[in-house]
Amino acid sequence: MRARDIPITAWIGMFGILLAVFCALFAPFIAPYGETEVVGGVWQEADAQFFFGLDNLGRDILSRLIYGARTTLLVALAATVISFSLGIILSFIAAVSGGMIDTVFSRFNDLMMSIPTLIFALVVLAVLPQHLIVLILVMAILDSTRVYRLGRAVALDVAVMEFVEAARLRGEGTGWIIFREILPNTLSPLLAEFGLRFAFAILFLSTLSFLGLGIQPPTADWGGMVKDNKDGIIFGIAAALVPGSAIAGLAICVNLVVDWLLRRTSSLKGGRGDA
């Protein structure tokens, strides 16, 4: 694949993702001020010194936006990795084993999916201690139900193919069949789904923070910044729109890259089929 074959939309998406990752990795070095440092008046307007102005406590919005990228990306990525690991392993075990194991796993997954995700998360997080690990695990477990559904569907398609049957006849175990036969042949849709789940995790985390059950202050995250500054909108102050735009922009960038990967995968499959 050559660089000129990549569409401009994918380049825009990759640039946005890399920018967010850069801010997350080097936040202490590139942020003009500290994460919780009060540097001026409440909701001070943007000027040459404060590029996006100040928030409801007089903290620099640009600095908190940079620090918030670290928190938002870390929590969303951790939740997505855990949810994918759990969902894919359980779905592949169900698809390969079949019978009672498949029935029990699938019916339990249907039960979990029947409960509205946001309401379930709010109830659980309101009861459990408000800790970062608890937040990540709750997000991961809820999201793993969606991963399970996709993983089982693609695994069932591959599990009936001849090379998998040959592996069974050779006496290979469940672990071999999952990791050596099925997983390599389902990576394309799973990687695309990983990107979509990651974008969803960013939006879900921001929603929880906005409702007060996500990242707790004074730690900066984009959803919490929207919550802190939402009252300023009444007075024509755009402090809440900056983190809101960052959330929307990053979600769009992830989807642009995922869309390109899906189209590229589909075209490659089509080319192989024509040959």
pLDDT at 246: 93
The pLDDT confidence band at residue 270, using thresholds 50, 70 and 90, is very low
β-bridge partners, 59: 38
Q: In the predicted model, what is the mean pLDDT of the chain? A: 86
CA torsion angle 58 45 74 263 (round to 10): 170
In the chain the domains, ranked by start, together with CATH numbers, are: 61-270 (1.10.3720.10)
Region 80-107 average pLDDT: 89
Nearest to 17 by CA among 60, 58, 76: 76
pLDDT tens string 22-56: 999 999 999 999 998 999 888 888 888 888 989 98
Least confident residue range of 22-31, 78-87, 115-124: 115-124
Specify the range with the lowest mean pLDDT, choosing from 42-56, 65-79, 156-170, 192-206: 156-170
Mean pLDDT of 187-196: 84
Measured distance CA(121)–CA(137) in Å, rounded? 11
